[in-house]
Structure 1
């Protein structure tokens, strides 16, 4: 069943989100502070039974100089410089196994799959927080300086910085992508690093927070609504903090060619929140609305369309 507005209403919907006046100043200073730390990129080869790809365990410095982990997959024997894909995973997940997510490297890209700090993987978050609802969405939500997605979005921008330093990677051809939380992180990265080459935001989480808190009936958004049910006097402050992290704000600043997707039966990310970001996106854009899909938002068919769409941008020589 539909979980939100019908398709015609979604095309008409506009978010009432407004960015705070110092949104850009906040993020400029945050990224400048992070970039004071050396990237400290290190690659360790990983032995696998794969015959067509080489895999490396990557470490680089993110927010606060904290070490982040990622997989780097490269097509074996490819002659560089290669275009690169930076991928972020879903909420509470991880970079997974070295043998997973082989599509992008198999298609001829350098593929950096980032392990989001403090979630289900191998990258810790050394920064503590105040009271939070179980999960990650309200961690550090007392202020914009302590909110967990300040660190995560900064890590993501640094991941782009890191992949651009790798031998055999063309720094001008770097795209960002992900599903759910990964799509939201990718969208934020496109807003923070304006010269990324392309974006795929598949059912992006972390957009249009206020509406999501009212119509999102499943986790993770229910974490926010339940936190506010306990902290009734914190509602104005919480949404002031979240205004610095809303995907709608980043979308209005991003200019890379973008592919969005939404499943109209998605109970996790309300489709209207995706449309809210899409409608203000500044760059060339497309949105695939999948009427009978849920949170997978078209799944492999959506990825195939993006592979085809990315090719003329990231492989302009037809290679």
Structure 2
């Protein structure tokens, strides 16, 4: 992937004038109120010990919590064994087309002393279906244009509501310190972490936002050479009479550039300057609008959509220590 976006010095000041939909805040206030009301009449969060787990230093739980519409969303909860409680916690949201996977696949955060909730993505992971309330034959493959005609029916309304409800559930867990919960993810997961930081206020202690998807989506559609943004291009190419402005207006309710000014939690972003899926200008568009007093971005000059790959977690752990959110000796109890 060649370097096709803006030079780094321009990216650092790239701040396009992008207006959120006029009812953006009202839309999300009603969405979350609706999701929480539905959750009150649904089964409460359930944590079942993973039988026969081969892990020796981590206690693993198979989780179901009420998400959008009170529908059960799957997750794993990993707790450092014999830890001193309450623990700081990390919630991980998953990249596009992925799910929570196996409970043995993602052990970094529990090894570092954090409670760790790994959230399945409805309709993408294997364990959380997506009962679409208004199925539409109009979308093209993938999730970007599901419900594109109306933000109330768009796929990402349901998924982002799930992500906030995961935070609600974890805050109530007795092993977790509700004042020290970090949201984290890469690609789609980074976009979801950014959305939760903008929606959940001081319930989020920090955000780790890696190579975020779902940000400055119109530019993503115009520039990205690899998915998922090309789904939008394909949709508009097939549905010639569809007004592009209407499409991007719907997507505006789920765009990180509109969540970023509403976020107050300290944040560490990362970006790859040779990213063909999430062009760096789309990342900087959100980062430069992010409203927290403390924010940093790790720039991987020759990074593609993998960003810093295995080097980024060490950056994150050190950054959390510096932000006063390290796990310290929690896992040594």
TM-score under structure 2 length normalisation: 0.93
Give me the whole-angstrom Cα distance separating, in 2, the residues matched to 1:155 and 1:202: 20
CA contact (8 A) 2:32 2:161 kept: yes
CA contact (8 A) 2:215 2:256 kept: yes
Q: More displaced, 293-302 or 154-163?
A: 293-302
Q: CA deviation at 1:318?
A: 6.7
Q: CA deviation at 1:314?
A: 2.0
Pick aligned residue for 2:309 from 276, 299, 302: 299
Q: More displaced, 240-249 or 34-43?
A: 34-43
- State the secondary structure of the residue aligned to 1:44: strand
**1:82-121 mapped onto 2 (5 Å cutoff):** 82-121=87-126
- State the secondary structure of the residue aligned to 2:151: coil
- State the secondary structure of the residue aligned to 1:55: strand
Q: Residues 98 and 8 from structure 1, CA distance in 2 versus in 1: closer, same or farther, beyond 3 angstroms?
A: same
- State the secondary structure of the residue aligned to 1:158: helix
Q: Aligned residue for 1:214?
A: 222
Q: Aligned residue for 2:325?
A: 314
Give me the whole-angstrom Cα distance separating, in 2, the residues matched to 1:225 and 1:288: 30
Give me the whole-angstrom Cα distance separating, in 2, the residues matched to 1:108 and 1:7: 35
Q: More displaced, 200-209 or 119-128?
A: 119-128
Pick aligned residue for 2:212 from 191, 204, 212: 204
Q: More displaced, 222-231 or 306-315?
A: 306-315
Q: CA RMSD in A?
A: 1.4
| 1:43 is the counterpart of 2:56 | no
Q: CA deviation at 1:317?
A: 7.0
Q: Aligned residue for 1:286?
A: 296
Q: CA deviation at 1:315?
A: 3.7
Unaligned 5+ segments in structure 1 are: none
| 1:150 is the counterpart of 2:157 | yes
Give me the whole-angstrom Cα distance separating, in 1, the residues matched to 2:4 and 2:93: 25
Q: CA deviation at 1:3?
A: 3.8
CA contact (8 A) 1:197 1:313 kept: no
Give me the whole-angstrom Cα distance separating, in 1, the residues matched to 2:199 and 2:191: 12
Q: How many residues are paired up?
A: 319
Give me the whole-angstrom Cα distance separating, in 2, the residues matched to 1:316 and 1:109: 6
- State the secondary structure of the residue aligned to 2:179: strand
CA contact (8 A) 2:93 2:118 kept: yes
Q: CA deviation at 1:316?
A: 8.1
- State the secondary structure of the residue aligned to 1:277: helix
Q: Aligned residue for 2:18?
A: 17
- State the secondary structure of the residue aligned to 1:174: strand
Q: CA deviation at 1:15?
A: 2.4
